[in-house]
Amino acid sequence: MTSRATSVRPRPRRPIRHLLVGLTVALVAALTPPGGSTPAQAAPTLLSQGRPATASSTENAGTPAAAAVDGNTGTRWASAFSDPQWLQVDLGARATITQVNLLWEGAYGRAFQLQTSDDGTTWTTIYSTTTGAGGTQNLTVTGAGRYVRMYGTARGTGYGYSLWEFQVYGESGGTTPTCGSTNVAQGSPATASSTQDAGLAASAAVDGNPGTRWASAASDPQWLRVDLGSTRTICRVTLTWEAAYARSFQLQTSADGTTWTTIYSTTTGAGGTQNLTVTGSGRYLRMYGTARGTAYGYSLWELAVNTTGGTTEPPVGTTDPYNPNLGANTFVFDPGTPTSTIQSRLNTLFTQQETNQFGPQRYAVLFKPGTYTADVNLGFFTQVAGLGMSPDDVNLNGHVRVEAAWFGGNATQNFWRAAENLSVTLPAGVSVERWAVSQAAPYRRMHLRGAQNQIQLWNGGDGWSSGGLMADTRVDGLVVSGSQQQWYSRNSEFGNGWTGSVWNMVFQGVNGAPAPSFPNPSHTVIAQTPQVREKPFLYVDGSGEYRVFVPALRTNSTGTSWYNKTPAGSSISLSQFYVVQPGTSAATINAALAQGRHLLFTPGVHHVTEPIQVNRADTVVLGLGLATIQADNGSVGMRVADVDGVKVAGLMFEAGTTNSPVLMEVGPAGSSASHAGNPTSLHDVFFRIGGPHVGKATNTLTVNSDNVIGDHMWLWRADHAAQGVPTGWTLNTADTGLTVNGDNVTMYGLFVEHYQKYQTIWNGNGGRTYFYQNELPYDPPNQAAWMNGSTRGYAAYKVADSVTSHQAFGLGSYSYFNVNPAVVEERSFEVPVNPNVRFTNMVTVSLGGVGTINRVINNAGGTANAANQTVYLTTYP
């Protein structure tokens, strides 16, 4: 708005007495509210105008942050065209905030939070929306802090965020603290009056896992107590009850754990989830139950405690690269460690993890350069890795193996484990190394020594196995596929070749691969890998410093990146990483990222209630021990900006019990920048919806950026679960596994299973997939429940009609409609008819004849059913 001068005609002067009377009457009227005599409160003050402002980015020099707090509605701040973005104002002193006005230009925030902070680092959200509509928003809020920011997570247009004015109202000097969002009880020591059994311990109610619980004996009274470590001012307690709830209970605090003060009491508790606003302080908090709501004991999935003053996370600290804290579940051995100590630890881990496919435990076993004697038998959620620059820097005399004895010789559930960056010399007189795995179990950057030896991908006489990855690996001897149903080998070297096949074996850039032959034997051979970056890895240099090596891009490559050659790439000191421990909030993780740090996740389940935002080009996010990020309260697990060269590796993303719109997003919607010279890459990134609890997510992974590389990923809607945790059509719900909207995206070794609509949707041009493994959902209750309009079921791999170029090689899709075998899928691959959309070597299978796949691709290929269980098609069109 532009102001203009106006002329005013002079008015006659009044006598002074009349003027004073008039002012007095006006003042009284102003201070007297209608219908009463109580003076009105003073109006809040505009605190932000002219104060220092900063922003995450600016569109150009003419749209700086300061323009949003200059009082001129004709100037504006505008950000870059990506998410997230923020605008922050420093009020100069702590203030009580009562109102924030946002005067949006046409480029507005659809999803954003208003946040306050006392130090500009730790933030408390005081307003949040995902349905912003732009225009002028006058928002009444309650909060306090020196700093106030608008934190935008989803833009309303294809442009950035743009504000004519950002107006913060309140009163300076405010001292009212806000109730923080961090659960300070999570991970704290907990005790109880009793437990129902050893599997229902007090600690299960403060572990951040909504699938574990504490349960007491079936008598009154009973209590659960948590030690917060120091005296805290408590403002909110959330109780998430299992069916056995408390009808009468108190919340109590104590400074010493002996003398208690009641801060909340009820005799009409109804269970469920109770969010209780309280006022009290103490080091200890307990729930003291005096009357049960059922005949059973008291049972809490979670007890959460929030305190005043915003989050209580410590400042982002430094990492000592010579003595880093890699977490309680990381075990690092050196050549001086006694062999008996190493083997004892390995045996203990295997005993615990052999059948523990849905537990929260995660482990990494790391060997510094040297020679060892060890038998590494890998169970669930265990990673074994060498800490050398080359696999040959660490040699294990013994085994690195996976067996399937726990499941009667059937290896089709041997998921979630990894062997990396090691060489193995088998014991004298032994010539077979067994690697009986299915999905999410990479054998990567390994060297199995000895031309007389073989690695056996399971034995058909013992049972089936169902898919895996071998990458950047050298086997001096022979690879025997055995009962493996499908397998993907990339950039590896087989000294004595490969033997065997079942349905779908794909070899890419492999020296020693068998001759191309499909379908008998079912060998798809691609001579080179067009563009790939190997997975980043942790190592220790000659001085004892921990570093992360980031391999360079390779083009049209064959063989390994390391055998008889010097690996190309860059090395980053661990001092430049923030080492994330379980219990660290997403706010702290994001603060570390904002300071330019990379991330190393230690083994464990990391719960987040807001997205991890990776905004800086070339950021490395690396997990140890299959570290898991669980998206709670309907959050997104991670968002990656539309920038060059981000690497995400060695992580699993887990859906929480509240539905998430997506678990991981690479690039915001509408991303269009080219990253051809430095693509973002995802390595050994896995996703799970259901299993340890009833998880839900509409979409799992959405790729909006161009030129992204996927290097071994498994996206899984659970078909089975932990004992006592159900799965089913209306329980662990998930529409789609992978959605690709970006152009020139390449997937190497892609596994997507059991989703309720399309398993994979590809909307971008120039896409390529090398090896695809899919099982359709087991559990459609009937055909009517699984219809895509008038089409029976949804394709396993859908290329949008608008796509003009796409290639895919070595694809398998399988049906097992065990809830209702009469269900039919019309086709597994659905693509536009275009000479530049080409599919090579496909197979469909009706597993055991349970269910029908009517056609392979579009209307081509035969029917897979009980009478004809396996159907092959070599080319389309």
Q: How many CA atoms lie within 13 A of 515 on its CB side?
A: 2
What pLDDT, on a 0 to 100 scale, did the predictor assign at position 839? 98
Q: Are 436 and 457 in contact (CB under 8 A)?
A: yes
User: Where would I find the beta strands (DSSP E) of 310-358?
Assistant: 330-333
What pLDDT, on a 0 to 100 scale, did the predictor assign at position 177? 61
Q: Are 754 and 717 in contact (CB under 8 A)?
A: yes
Query: What SS3 class is residue 602?
Result: coil
Q: Which residues contact 368 (CB under 8 A, 6 or more apart)?
A: 332, 333, 334, 335, 387, 388, 394, 540
Least Cα distance to 698 among 667, 734, 725, 724 occurs for 734
For 600-619, the pLDDT digits (tens) are 999 999 999 889 999 999 99
* Alpha-carbon distances, residue 137 vs 51, 104, 105, 132, 809 (angstroms): 21, 8, 12, 9, 52
For 843-870, the pLDDT digits (tens) are 999 999 999 999 999 999 999 999 999 9
Beta bridge partners of 622: 600, 649
User: pTM higher than 0.75 for the full model?
Assistant: no
- Which helix H or strand E contains 102, and what residues bound it? strand 85-104
* Active-site hit among 775, 825, 826, 830: 775
Cα–Cα distance, 847 to 502 (Å, whole number):
13
- Expressed in angstroms, the distance from the first to the final Cα of the chain is 60
Cis geometry, peptide bond prior to residue 84 (ω within 30 degrees of 0): yes
The distance of Cα 112 from the centroid of its chain, to the nearest Å, equals 20
Cα–Cα distance, 697 to 658 (Å, whole number):
8
**Alpha-carbon radius of gyration of the chain:** 30
What pLDDT, on a 0 to 100 scale, did the predictor assign at position 315? 60
DSSP state of 576: G
Cα–Cα distance, 234 to 258 (Å, whole number):
18
Least Cα distance to 747 among 794, 830, 807 occurs for 807
Least Cα distance to 795 among 808, 777, 771 occurs for 777
Query: What SS3 class is residue 786?
Result: coil
DSSP state of 575: G
Least Cα distance to 418 among 396, 431, 400, 395 occurs for 400
Least Cα distance to 362 among 386, 380, 385 occurs for 380
Please give the full DSSP string across 422-459, using - where no structure is assigned. -EEEPPTT--EEEB---SS--EES-EE--TT-EEES--
Q: Are 495 and 474 in contact (CB under 8 A)?
A: yes
Ranges under pLDDT 50 in the chain = 1-42, 174-176, 310-314
What pLDDT, on a 0 to 100 scale, did the predictor assign at position 5? 31
What pLDDT, on a 0 to 100 scale, did the predictor assign at position 788? 98
The distance of Cα 169 from the centroid of its chain, to the nearest Å, equals 37
User: Where would I find the beta strands (DSSP E) of 5-84?
Assistant: 45-46, 53-55, 77-78
What pLDDT, on a 0 to 100 scale, did the predictor assign at position 460? 67
* Alpha-carbon distances, residue 374 vs 25, 335, 398, 543 (angstroms): 93, 12, 5, 26
What pLDDT, on a 0 to 100 scale, did the predictor assign at position 231? 74
Verify whether residue 105 is a known catalytic residue.
Answer: no
The distance of Cα 372 from the centroid of its chain, to the nearest Å, equals 35
Please give the full DSSP string across 122-187, using - where no structure is assigned. S-EEEEEES----SEEEEEEEEEEEEEEEEEEEESSSS--EEEEEEEEEEET---PPBP---TTTT
φ, ψ at 829 (rounded to 5°): -125, 125
